[in-house]
């Protein structure tokens, strides 16, 4: 697969791709590959995903938080209230 590689001023890419301010007034390297027609990520079924996760750290975290529409602030307040007397 052929690729094009060049170094340009960050300012030339302002309207093309969002870049962090850290890159302002710096040279950046640009590498261009042709887009692949096929998806490189295979589509997986839930059964296959569950099988891959079996015994993983991620699996142990499932269900840690109840499935409700509480905000992070509500979870934080709940935790602070629960542990406020612990020394």
pLDDT band, very low/low/confident/very high, at 87 (cuts 50, 70, 90): low
pTM score: 0.36
The residue written with tokens 């709940």 in the block is 78
Neighbours of 10 (CB within 10 A): 16
Rounded to 10 degrees, what is the CA torsion of 50, 55, 59, 60? 160
Which tens digits make up the pLDDT trace of 47-71? 887 777 777 666 666 666 666 677 8
Do 26 and 10 form a contact (C-beta atoms < 8 A)? Answer: yes
Q: Which residue has the higher pLDDT, 60 or 16?
A: 16
Cα 76 from chain centre: 23
């Amino acid at each position: 697969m052929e690729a094009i590689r060049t170094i340009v001023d960050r300012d030339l890419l302002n309207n093309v791709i969002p870049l962090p301010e850290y890159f302002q007034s710096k040279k950046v390297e640009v590498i261009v590959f042709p887009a692949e027609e096929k998806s490189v990520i295979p589509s997986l079924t839930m059964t296959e995903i569950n099988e891959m996760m079996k015994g993983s750290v991620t699996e142990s975290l499932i269900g840690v938080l109840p499935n409700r529409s509480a905000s992070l602030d509500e979870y934080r307040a709940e935790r602070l209230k629960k542990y406020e007397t612990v020394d």
